[in-house]
Structure 1
Amino acid sequence: MSNIQDEYINKHVSAAQITNTIRLSRFFLVSIVIVSLYIYCIYQFYFAKPSFYLNLWFISTVLFCCLSLLITSIHFKPRNFSLKHAHRWLQFQFLATGSFIGVGIALIYYYLPQYNHDFNQVHGLMLSALLLIVSQAFALTFLTQRLNYFCLAFIPAILPYLASQFIAADTSNYLFHLTINFALIVILLCANTSSRIHQRISALYCKNNRLVKNAEQQVLWTDELCQQLKTEINKSKEIELQLQLNNQLLEQKVKERTFDLAKMNTDLENQQQNLVLAHEIAGLRPWDWNIKDREILITNSKQQKTLKALKQHQHQLQNIIHSDDVEHFKFSMKQHLRGRSNLYEATYRIQNSLGKWKWVHDIGRVISRDPINQKALRMVGIRRDIQQERTDQERLKLAASVLKQASEGIFILDEQLCYIDVNPFYEKLTNFSQEKIIGKHLFDITANHKSQQRNDHYSIINQLLKTGEYDGEMNEKFLSGKELTVWMHINAITDEQNRVTHYIGIVSDLTERKLQEQRLSYLENYDPLTDLPNRFYYNYQLHQYLVSQKDSIQQLAVIRLNIDRFRPLNEFLSNSGGDELLRQVAQRLRLTNAEALFVAHLNGDDFAIVYEISHIRPSIQQHCERISQAFSLPFTIFDQEHIITLSMGIAFYPENGRQLDYLNNCAEQGLTEAKNLGGNTIRYYSNKNTALLEQGIYLERDLRLAINNNELIVYYQPKINFSDQNIYGFEALVRWNHPTKGIIPPNSFIPLAERTSLISDIGRIVIQQTAKQIRHWNDLGFNNICVSVNVVAQQLQRGQLLEDLDYAIQTYQISGSSLELEITESSLLENSITVKNLLDEIKERKINISLDDFGTGYSSLSYLADFPIDILKIDRSFISKIGENKQEAIVSAMIAMGKAMGMMVVAEGIETQQQLQYLQDLKCDIAQGFLFSKPLPESEATIFLEQHRLIPSQV
């Protein structure tokens, strides 16, 4: 008994030691982190030279301690861990911690005095001793529940000191080593003593608990004995009373048992009737075969039992069982009688009294066998009429076959509108297999990205849930990528209580029918010769624009076009040639009028175009001029070129009419007037132009008058050298000094001028006035002023630019180096070889060439290499966004590229000091912008030049 008690105490003490150590190990790990941090901070604060190995040791120690704390907290929660696993974990944890302490002592004691000369041997001894003594003091405090836990942390930590006494014996530190050795021995002795004390305390605690439990158990046993004694006394009294009552109860129970037997007999009779009724309803006919006596008790269709001899019954079976099923019946019966199957079961056909065959299911089992030879003695079974079931199964198979062979998609949903079955055609429609559809919601297999689709699906689901039926056409895009037009019909299936149990859907693919309808619609609405809308569709669509969309489209222009002298030309070309001409005319009209709302072929050589009039679109006059210009090119018919001209009549909505027929008549009258004038002209229905047309025509007229009346003047915006802040020159900018409207900025009239030949006239005026102003400044002593002039693509391509430059240079006797031509990237796109030759000739006159708005156009770097470009001008759109990393990177790259290619770099649009400083740091050459000055007229530009006379005159 003593050995058992000692074993129990030892187990309890061991468990208590592990449990307490798990709890105290957290404090030990936190203490190690604190002392490591303290020593690391002392070194970093007093000894500035960082050490990689010390950093690595500190980080590794802290990470290990934190990870150990985390693992201990998660995996070793109180009363929820294995003592064996906890013991192994504590051993590993303390051994690793002691090893980290030992490595730290070795680093401090051996490595740091050699690595950092400011950190001498004494410092190493002090810090390493601090780490050792403090860590072991914490270990003595928290790890002495078991001596081996303390030793696992103690021994690796003192190894560097022990090794130092044998590896590098330093006589100067012998007293230190003696002191430390003595302290370590004392710590070890204290740990041993503390461990014994903890062990004794745990043992005493276990014994006290055991004594308390024993005392409590004795008290319980005493109470139970007293209670049992009282119970026995009460029982003896109750037995006397019970004996008296038993006689009375026995008599009562005899009466009750008699009554219960009578009731049970009644219940058995009722159950017998219920069983007979159940057999009759279910079509079951029980039979009982007494094999030993060779008799069988069978039940007929009226549930009447008949006892027959076995031979008589067998003879009857052979007459009524179908000949194809006799062998199966006999085989199944023999297999069960011989004990080869647990149950006899056979399905066969029998002939009824009317001579018709019906299916029955016969099932039975041997319930009694001879205990010696295991021969069957008695067998019972039931025969059931399954003719209706077989008929229903055939119908189900037929229905399933129809479902699979149907040429329409069919699906079945549950009450939650989730798929439970689909037929193969629906799989083909959706391009999804059945496995990927089953279980998903009705519209989970369709794309629901667009709000219109989501609204349609939501409306269908609401209608199904509300009315139980949906029937309609849908355009569906499935997640498989297949897009179809379908007709979907869904009906709800309800039970006896009118509750919805399922939904059945039928889906028809209307895609091909829609394509056929589109083909028919095309043949009905389009002219097959020209592939343009015909007169019917033209009238319908124009009516829609006039009525249905009049709130969104405020103004329309209807242009009626007719080929001049088409009839004689058609007779000359023959019918096939005339048809080819109409096809080419239609193609050219289509390409020329891409912005038109409508281009139609009404009949013969009669065409119509419908335009929307808007302030952001070109005028109708410009559209018509573009059409005329397009038709100035010849048409090639049968390898012969023919020049075709058009007559055009124009009517405007709503000025000339609001009804379809009236508006067409107005355009027709305009066309008739144009034809009467000999063709190749444009006529409007009314002599009064619309406000939009009047604005375009009058602006062009006024601009021509301005050129003739010398109303165009030139403003000059200064350019500043980054290097010395001197004036490099100016950029010439044209302005319109209108006699009544004052100064008009260029963005109001330059776009119109670029669409006509006026831009070349304006460019010529700017070159002449700039040359004249340079001459004036040269006379004032500013000989090295360079003025840049903007040149557009039309000036490069018309072939008059060289003449204009030569005339200006010779007339005003200026140097070509005083001029600079700013050319945009788009100007270099067309006829690049011709433009390059032209620029080479310009360079021969010592005129500088600048690439304007660099980076905003097509930005092909080949222009910089292929064309003789001297100056790269960075557009203001990049300068304005300086301060953004990406934009600064682009500007920096542009300047670096220009510098690398030997070009001068100009930055326009500088408005802030930040932009100026950034560009100056990148060594940009020339600055231009409102930070220095806005564009100035001639007189103010001269004053600005006089006030900043920093350029040394070269007279």
Structure 2
Amino acid sequence: MTYNQDEYIKQHNHAAQIANTLRHSRYFLVSILIICLYIFAIYQVYFTHQSFYFSIWFIFTEVFVSLCWMISTVYFKPGQYSLQIAHRWLQFQCFSVGTLIASGIFLIFYYLPSNNENFQPIQALTLSALLLIVTQTFGLTYLTQKLNYFCLAFLPSIVPYLVAQFFFFDETNHLFNLSINFGLIVILMCAMTSYRIHRRVSTLYAKNNLLVENAEQQVKWTDELCQQLQDEVNKSRDIEMQLQLGNQLLEQKVKERTFDIETMNKDLENQQENLVLAHEIAGLRPWDWNVKERRISVTNHKHEKSLRSSKDHQIQLQHVIHPDDVMHFKTEMTRHLRGLTDRYEATYRIQNSNGKWNWVHDIGRVITRDPNNKKPLRMVGIRRDIHQERTSQERLKLAASVLQQAAEGIFILNEELRYIDVNPFYEQLTGFSHEQIIGKHLFDITANYKSAQRSTHYSIIKQVLKMGEYDGELHEKFLSGKELTLWMHINAITDEQNRVTHYIGIVSDLTERKLQEQRLSYLENYDTLTDLPNRFYYNYQLHQYLVSQQDSIKQLAVIRLNIDRFRPLNEYLSNNGGDELLRQVAQRLRLTNAEALFVAHLNGDDFAIVYEMSHIRPSVQEHCERLTKAFSLPFNIFGQDHVITLSIGVAFYPEHGRQLDYLNNCAEQALSEAKNLGGNTIRYYSNENTALLEQGIFLERDLRKAIQNNELVVYYQPKINFRNKDIYGFEALVRWNHPEKGLIPPGLFIPLAEQTSLISDIGRIVLQKTAKQIRLWNNLGYNNICVSVNIVAQQIRRGQLLNDLDQAIDDNQIDGSSLELEITESSLIENSDSVRNLLDEIKKRKINISLDDFGTGYSSLSYLADFPIDILKIDRSFVSKIGENKQQAIVSAMIAMGKAMGMTVVAEGIETEQQMQYLQDLDCDIAQGYLFSKPLPQEEATIFLENNISAPTYTYLI
């Protein structure tokens, strides 16, 4: 019956869709006529230019649409057409109209703008969009009885826009395309919705027709029965009198029987309702399997019965039963069907509509078997959803497992705070068994002898009863003898009416953690070698003295100690011996500083003492002298006695500072001064040292900025040839042009730069500037000028000198012979082989090498023989003392030795005519000094060069 009803509804819907579409398509065609006429009229009125193809399209569209309207009106009258022919005609009509609309859009959007200059693209977009949107709106209104017809008209009409978006992407309005696309999608969605509504209404109409037909059939059958009854009444009239008495008796019995049946029916109905309610509550779904006819009746989750074939039901079960449970289901069913078990019973998982797996319990029994072969004929059963029960059981098992396996103590109390359950870890913590704990009050298992402990327990119980929770640290001693530090967390559990039913507590053992914290605190604050406080704890404790105890401590002395010559002694003793020495030093400091506030080992061989100064204690000087005296006794290290001395630096609070860092710095400066004096002495901090230190720090900071800001300039002091008084060259001398302090001489910043890496940066800058100046002089025609540049030991040791030289020569395109490097004797002391190799590389670049400050070093004569030195430069300290017999003899010997070795001799610092005449008589080669000129900036040096050299030969760079 269900199948026939569905088939009837399907056929009725199909016929109704065709009939309704035929009726509404006429209005659709009229709408197409109107919109095409409207667009054509707009174009003709506003754009007078005629278009042949557009006119042809309009005429053809109007004629074709009119013919379609006439055929639909005349030929397809209600009840006079074949559904198949009408269906084909509607498909053809919709597709043709959609194609015509697409052609019109193509002509308006692509053809008319190119054919008519007055017809702008935006106007083409507007008219084409109007044609598309209006036609699709009419199609949405009249063609959605069947979605196929609407799509046949809709899809061809949007082809031009889709083509434009993919093939004319750069020429289209992207915002317009996005808007049109969105509108088309909305129209298509509306069409689908309208189609579903029409189909639902048609289905309801078909069902109503079926109900009407059924009602009419029932009325017909009722009439037939009434007619038969009337015939029977007519026949019974003949014997009515004879059976009147019997009828009366029979009526009485029928009434009694009817009353009994009605009573039974009511009871059965009540029982049926109760059974249905019970099935709903218990989640039972009965099923009835007719094995012989291969039909099965099942009940779904909405308690609606459905009948299907056994094969379809088996296929469905294979898809919904979990793959791991299919074999169990088949095995249990097969065993029961064969009579091996009294009933069928299986538990398995099925997949619901959401894709999740739910557990069910299936029970059934064969109620009818063939008497001959005992084959089953009918089987009934019930399937029950046990997913919630199964989940609850698993959760209970998991909770029980967690309770048993948890590495935290867990207990459960009733509303009176008495134990009702504990886990094994809590038994292990307390030292009591499960039976010994159950029934006791929360703190009955702890020792409550002390009033403080009883007060703590009382406050905890009061907070739990009042607030429903407690969280805190406890130190408990249990009656079992165990004493632990615990962290206890208690929470109340309430029912639906928010009444407290139980309390759950979690206890963590903090005993080991506390021990670890103590160990970590010791490792963090104490030195493991000497057992003295380390630098971190020293700074912290000193800060506390300076800040937190200013009212109680008025004066402090920070004493810094350092072992003299500890490094060579440590190398001699080896690491183990050095460690043993530090341990003994720490022990002696600990014994001799009983009155001190603090003794600390900062690092290596550095120690510190914090000493409070007061009238009841010895003075700081007496205390330090006592330290020195205590360390005069030898230390026995591995059987050998060693006497060590200490360098001691002292700073005072609050005279020298009130802040931790500043006070420590003052003590370190005093210690550094003691070390510089050779050690084994006591030095007190002085403000004069701070001024010098600050001056050096600020100078270093400004010098770094000067290098970055290009504040360094090069001055040039001329060198004169003794023979012809011509200019031999210049010496490049660096000056610092400070923006605030003006010109700073090199004597103030060069020594500081030599203590840092800044001297190498300064040397690189001087080389670059000198090479650049040589290039300028070469361009002016002064090609034989040689400029000397001072090189310090750090530049040689850092290994960048050759790269700096090559870069300066290459960048400025000068010859190596234009450069001269002045190297001091101190640069040649160490690494003689590496220095010799470096000088050889420099000579390969045709660069002259001059030995500066000759006679002031350590072994001058050996350098003259071992290194490739071209020029010997006599220091100004010898030249300034010419006139003294001994000094004149030294100068004479230097010049004679240099001449004998084939070197050029330069005398610097010439300031008097007497000095010049003496050197000239000794046949010295080059003269330099204030007698000729002071160091000049580059502009003045160029003027000096022009005034002292005539008729230069100019060369030009290409």
Is TM (by shorter chain) over 0.5?
no
Q: TM-score w.r.t. structure 2 length? A: 0.31
**If you compute each CA radius of gyration, which structure gives the higher value, 1 or 2?**
2
Q: TM-score w.r.t. structure 1 length? A: 0.32
